[in-house]
Amino acid sequence: MSKRNNLIIFGVSGVAFILFVIFVYLPYAKKQDNLNKVKESYQHSSYLKDPVGQLPVFSCIDQNGKVFTNDSLKGDVVVANFFYTTCEGYCPTTTKHLATVQSSLNKNIPFHIISFSLNPANDTVAALRKYADMYKADDNVWRFLHGDQEEIYQLGEQGLMTIVKDTAGNFESHSDRFVLMDKMGKIRGFYRGTDSLELQALIQDINYLVFKGETNE
């Protein structure tokens, strides 16, 4: 191969390398640097605590008639609450606020909302589907669940530490609290679902656990 050809090859390679640096490496490096800055900017609120419990084992049916279990949530940050579709107390406000949580977050992050019905006899798959559509729930993010009523009561009171019935066994007295869990299924905080300020703290803490939680558990 002649000296001239070697120079041509060397020149072409050099130009290709420069173009790679300008159009590929530098934009990628800038994107990663911006992403790291965004991650570093996340701080948690005073509502986020050290782990106080663990998401219990459960198996329910969602608004699409599909089985949904605790195993479906592995690696996700999770917000749980309790409701029923005919509720005229807390539920309209708390469900509306959960819709705000859903719309405030990037839909591609590892995150789920799980809403357990306290009246599964009435809240059939069709009823849950209608309710989910009413609040524009994204099926990939937000699951409305029904199962055995006593198991749901036990899940709420003993597992997720939130009141779902009174001493007479009435579900009408359920709490308005949202329960936040990290990617390991550990319970990390409680937020009043009817309080707009606590709602903003919840959104803040979800982002913190998604982007920084794995290095701060």
pLDDT tens per residue across span 171-182: 667 899 999 999
**Angle, CA of 57, 182 and 138, to the nearest 5°:** 80
What are the residue ranges in the chain where pLDDT is below 70? 1-21, 23-41, 167, 171-172, 214-217
Q: Is 68 helix (H, G, I), strand (E, B) or coil?
A: strand
Q: What is the pLDDT of residue 41?
A: 58
Q: What is the pLDDT of residue 24?
A: 62
Check: CB of residue 180 under 8 Å from CB of residue 210: no
Q: What is the pLDDT of residue 38?
A: 46
Query: Looking at domain 59-215, which of 3.40.50.1970, 3.30.450.20, 3.50.50.60, 3.40.30.10 is its CATH number?
Result: 3.40.30.10
pTM of the shown model: 0.79
Q: What is the pLDDT of residue 32?
A: 53
Distance in angstroms (rounded) separating the CA atoms of residues 82 and 84? 7
Terminal Cα-to-Cα distance of the chain (whole angstroms): 61
Q: What is the pLDDT of residue 215?
A: 44
